Amino acid sequence: MTAIAILDDYQNVARELADWSALAKSCTIETFRNNLAVPDDAARALAEFDIVCTMRERMAFPRALIERLPKLRLITITGPQMRSLDIAAATERGVVVSHSTNRGPGGAATPELAWGLILAVARSIPLEDRRMRSEGGWQTTLGMGLRGKTLGLVGLGRVGRVVAEIGRGFGVNLIAWSQNMTVHQAAECGAKLVDKDTLFRESDIVSLHVVLSDRTRNLVGAREIALMKKTAILINTARGPIVEESALLAALRAGRIAGAGIDVFDVEPLPADHPIRRLENVVLTPHLGYVADDVMRVWYEDTVKAITAFLDGKPIRLLNPEVMGRD
| pTM, rounded to two decimals | 0.91
Report the alpha-carbon distance of residue 183 to residue 195 in Å, rounded: 11
Report the alpha-carbon distance of residue 18 to residue 76 in Å, rounded: 15
Cα within 13 Å of Cα(185), Cβ side: 16
Q: Would you write out the chain's pLDDT as a tens digit for each of its 327 residues? A: 999 999 999 999 999 999 999 999 999 999 999 999 999 999 999 999 999 999 988 999 999 999 999 999 999 998 767 888 999 999 999 999 998 766 555 579 999 999 999 999 999 999 999 999 999 999 999 999 999 999 999 999 999 999 999 999 999 999 999 999 999 999 999 999 999 999 999 999 999 999 999 999 999 999 999 999 999 999 999 999 999 999 999 999 999 999 999 999 999 999 999 999 999 999 999 999 999 999 999 999 999 999 999 999 988 776 545 444 433
184 is catalytic: no
**Tell me, what's the pLDDT at 105?**
56
Single-letter amino acid, residue 24: A
Nearest to 214 by CA among 85, 326, 60, 80: 326
Is 2-105+293-325's fold the same as 106-284's? Answer: yes
Give yes or no for a contact between 98 and 317, defined as CB atoms under 8 angstroms apart.
yes
Give yes or no for a contact between 267 and 293, defined as CB atoms under 8 angstroms apart.
no
pLDDT 10s digits, 239-277: 999 999 999 999 999 999 999 999 999 999 999 999 999
Give yes or no for a contact between 123 and 143, defined as CB atoms under 8 angstroms apart.
yes
For domain 2-105+293-325, say whether CATH 3.20.20.140 is its number: no
**Tell me, what's the pLDDT at 324?**
46
Report the alpha-carbon distance of residue 149 to residue 171 in Å, rounded: 8
**Catalytically annotated residue among 161, 224, 239, 244:** 239
The neighbouring-strand residues paired with 207 are 153, 235
SS3 307: helix
**Tell me, what's the pLDDT at 327?**
32
Report the alpha-carbon distance of residue 265 to residue 270 in Å, rounded: 7
> With left for phi above 0 and alpha for psi between -120 and 50, is residue 18 left, alpha or beta?
beta
User: What value, to the nearest 5°, has the Cα angle with vertex 257 and ends 253 and 260?
Assistant: 80
pLDDT 10s digits, 208-244: 999 999 999 999 999 999 999 999 999 999 999 999 9
For domain 106-284, say whether CATH 3.40.50.720 is its number: yes
244 is catalytic: no
Between helices 109-122 and 158-170, what is the axis angle to 10°?
50
* Helix-, strand-, coil-residue percentages of the chain, each rounded to 5: 40, 15, 45
- Return the domain boundaries, the chain: 2-105+293-325, 106-284
268 is catalytic: yes
**Catalytically annotated residue among 48, 128, 268, 301:** 268
